[in-house]
């Protein structure tokens, strides 16, 4: 199987890339900068930004699945930066999947989208979104998740 991983050079994306390679998949990593270790393990690097749907579509060419891990994380920064990556970037990934015929999209989110200030014990996908967010990261991840 050929799989595109957005954010494949990061912590979670890197773990996913290594796992896919270990099971014999062809992997393309879509990142903004080069990660030499990716090439060393046989991953094709596609560089670009989530805001550019054309480069996303080119990177997805021939892929059967996309794992969307890339995100603007953290608690400080401008709302526009979080929105651009976590909302508009996610919508571009979805649109590029549809345009290229990719049938499987895995979106990684965060428990922060359902966090209400209390411990989350035994939580699953049925938990409602938080009514309030203290930072742009969970707010924009929730919006991207809804897309």
Task: Give the distance, in angstroms, between the CA of residue 118 and the centroid of all CA atoms in the same chain.
Answer: 26
* 35 among known catalytic residues: no
Q: What angle do CA 145, 16, 100 make, to 5 degrees?
A: 60
Residues 6+ apart with CB under 8 A from 2: 25, 26, 27, 28, 62, 63, 64, 65
| SS3 (DSSP) at 67 | strand
Residue 32 DSSP symbol: S
The one catalytic residue among 82, 107, 133, 137: 137
Residue numbers annotated as active site: 137
């Amino acid at each position: 199987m050929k799989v595109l991983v957005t954010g494949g050079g990061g912590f979670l994306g890197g773990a996913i890339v290594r796992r896919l390679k270990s099971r014999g998949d062809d992997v393309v990593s879509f990142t903004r900068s080069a990660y030499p270790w990716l090439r060393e393990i046989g991953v094709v690097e596609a560089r670009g930004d989530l805001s550019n749907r054309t480069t996303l579509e080119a990177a997805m060419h021939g892929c059967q699945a996309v794992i969307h891990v890339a995100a603007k994380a953290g608690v400080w920064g401008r709302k526009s930066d979080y929105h651009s990556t976590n909302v508009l970037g996610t919508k571009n990934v979805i649109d590029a999947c549809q345009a290229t015929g990719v049938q499987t999209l895995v979106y990684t989110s965060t428990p922060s989208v359902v966090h209400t200030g209390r411990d989350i014990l035994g939580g699953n996908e049925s938990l409602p979104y938080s009514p309030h967010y203290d930072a742009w990261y969970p707010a924009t991840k929730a919006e991207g998740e809804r897309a």
